[in-house]
Chains A and B, each alone.
Chain A
Amino acid sequence: QKEVEQNSGPLSVPEGAIASLNCTYSDRGSQSFFWYRQYSGKSPELIMFIYSNGDKEDGRFTAQLNKASQYVSLLIRDSQPSDSATYLCAVLNSNYQLIWGAGTKLIIKP
């Protein structure tokens, strides 16, 4: 079992709909959780991070953390074609190592 797992996709979502991206992790002592977006040929850029259980909202983006079930999600409301990218989940584990998922490719269809 990988320490951080993401569905590789591609996940296809119609424009204007909600895109839901999921990430599960194995280390129950993990402390911080990060979502990055990476466009093809570009470097990853930070979207948001979350430390506490519950939801954190930033514009069209919402991160949801459930430590009991060991998953973190990223919701993108009103999806736009410009949201088409690979989304990377990163988890700071109990050993203070940042572990990266392999990423989910998201395609927003006009």
Chain B
Amino acid sequence: KAGVTQTPRYLIKTRGQQVTLSCSPISGHRSVSWYQQTPGQGLQFLFEYFSETQRNKGNFPGRFSGRQFSNSRSEMNVSTLELGDSALYLCASSLGAYNEQFFGPGTRLTVL
């Protein structure tokens, strides 16, 4: 069974731009969670989607948004990029809302 895939793997943007990251969960998984990880920091939870509905949201500004499609694929968008948004963005999928999560390889975003 294919794992979680994320595209693109690497991205370089400049301040003020916006970016869209994509995540395809493991086949059959209906829950997708997004995390931000910066050097030396733990996983910072962004949001979780289950069956196209946002179930939980972390403490991030409204510039960070996401959505989930009917095929469980998910996208997250960051508008008006800031230097501090440079990070590894991880997507994780799980079978249900409360099951163990499996992570994709991540998208490394650099904001210049």
Contacts and interface: CB of A to CB of B under 8 A. Distances in A.
Interface of A: 31-32, 34, 42-46, 49, 88, 90, 92, 96-98, 100-103
Interface string B50-82: 000000100000000000000000000000000
Nearest to A100: B43
Contact of A100 (B42, B100, B105): B42
Using C-beta atoms within 8 Å of the partner chain, give the interface range for chain B: 10 to 19
A102 B98 contact: no
Given A97-B56, A100-B43, A44 B103 contact: yes
A44 B100 contact: no
Contact of B105 (A43, A92, A97): A43
B42 A92 contact: no
Nearest to A99: B45
Contacts of A90: 101
Given A43-B90, A43-B105, A97-B56, A88 B100 contact: no
